[in-house]
Structure 1
Amino acid sequence: MKKILLTLTAVAGITFASQAQTEAGKTMIGGGVSFETQSVKDSDYKNNSFSILPQVGFFVADNIAVGARLGYAWSEEKESSDDKFATSEFVVAPFGRIYQGDGQVKFFGQLSAPMSWGTVKEDGDKTATTANYGVALAPGIAYFPTEKIGIELSVRGLYFESQTSKNEATDAKRTVNNFGLNVNSLAPTLGVQFHF
């Protein structure tokens, strides 16, 4: 009898602890940092990029969070010893997220509206400005090993992006629109969120 009571108490404790991460009034903090470098053998081509995108969310109701990702992204492309292009952008991405499920594993869906504004420089001189807008619906799964930590695995999902660049010298604008569905399970995003 003691074993059964102890098992039921442990299960109830785990269930309560796993609900505690996504209950109304809680805060979720996370984000991402990335660095990438690329070069082509027997060529002067090089590409380096860096981004830092912290994220904060607030649970407005049980299992429903709203928040934003704010950050900075930079990339530099060198095609020859003389030509160098650098892009820097300020990024804002408000989001809403809904969790579904009980226990330590929960599925979630996230709707976000990523936006960024930046500049393009060629050999140090500003040549263009950029403005990018989008919307994305991404599914994921979260595992909560403790009350304060959530480990997440997600895919890009359904998305639309509109990327506009404006030439500084001619005022000419170029807009590229992308629409896609990307649920590649071989290229998921892994993340960690801290819950308070």
Structure 2
Amino acid sequence: MKKLATSLLLLGAATAAHAQTSAGTVLLGGNVGYSSSKEEYSPSSLGSSSSERTQREFRFSPSVGYFVADNLAVGLIADLQTNKTKQPYTEYDQGVPSTYRFESTGSYKSIGPFVRYYKMIGEKAGFYGQLAGGYRTGRSRSESNAPFFEGSDGKYRGSYANLTPGFVFFPTPKIGLELTSGSIGYYNNKNTQEPTRQRIGQDNKSSGFGAYFGLQNLNIGASIYLGSN
């Protein structure tokens, strides 16, 4: 009787530990990121220019999924991103400095489906693989107060697909902390520069496939698992 009771307790603990990846569970996740950098360039000789460039980027990636079977979830993932670059610079003409402002901004968004499969390795941890794809759009703008500079606007659209391996740890039954360090992906993009008074419009197309792994791609996220029970 004691052995039977112990076995039932262990089975119940294992079932509770893996309940977050069982069929009927709702998966709510997201990542938030912000980065800022600053670079300074000093003139090396008279007549050259000095500048200081600052870059800021914000990114938010919400997702929602549903476990259609044990350890298998499907859903939608979106990505919202904005960036801004400022670069005031000084030009020297016969020793006389003139300072100008240059600024570029961009905003991008994407949405598409994903499929994620889990392989648990213990009561609170496991690995997963996520296959995602979708459609991206965006806009960019550059402007300056320098003489003869014309501001330009750009449009961006394209598609993507990527496979991302990850690790998940459950500090509580309903919260999963996720760690990824890159992905294997494909993209197909088109960038359109709108015409100005000084130049015609231009379309640039690009596509590629590659694997991107390493500490520079390290990403930490969190998800909420709302059980069906």
Higher Rg of the two aligned structures: 2
User: Mean alpha-carbon deviation: is it higher for 23-32 or for 172-181?
Assistant: 172-181
1:104 aligns with 2:124: yes
User: Mean alpha-carbon deviation: is it higher for 73-82 or for 116-125?
Assistant: 116-125
| Count of residues paired in the alignment | 195
Q: 1:174 to 1:114 in 2, by over 3 A?
A: same
Share of identical aligned residues, percent? Answer: 27
1:140 aligns with 2:166: yes
CA distance in 2, matches of 1:83, 1:178: 31
Task: Using structure 1 for the length normalisation, give the TM-score.
Answer: 0.87
Is the 1:17–1:146 Cα contact (8 Å) retained in structure 2?
Answer: no
Task: Using structure 2 for the length normalisation, give the TM-score.
Answer: 0.75
CA distance in 2, matches of 1:111, 1:36: 26
Is the 1:73–1:91 Cα contact (8 Å) retained in structure 2?
Answer: no
SS of residue paired to 1:144:
strand
CA distance in 1, matches of 2:201, 2:187: 22
**CA positional deviation for 1:66:** 0.9
Letter in structure 2 aligned against 1:182: Y
Q: 1:13 to 1:186 in 2, by over 3 A?
A: farther
In structure 1, the gaps of 5 or more residues are none
**Cα deviation 1:111-160 (Å, max 9, x = unaligned):** 01143201111239661101132111111121223220112222322111
The corresponding residue for 2:29 is 30
Aligned ranges 1:1-196 → 2 under 5 Å? 8-42=7-41, 43-80=51-88, 81-101=100-120, 103-123=123-143, 127-169=153-195, 170-184=200-214, 187-196=217-226
CA distance in 1, matches of 2:215, 2:117: 21
Is the 2:152–2:193 Cα contact (8 Å) retained in structure 1?
Answer: no
CA distance in 1, matches of 2:69, 2:201: 46
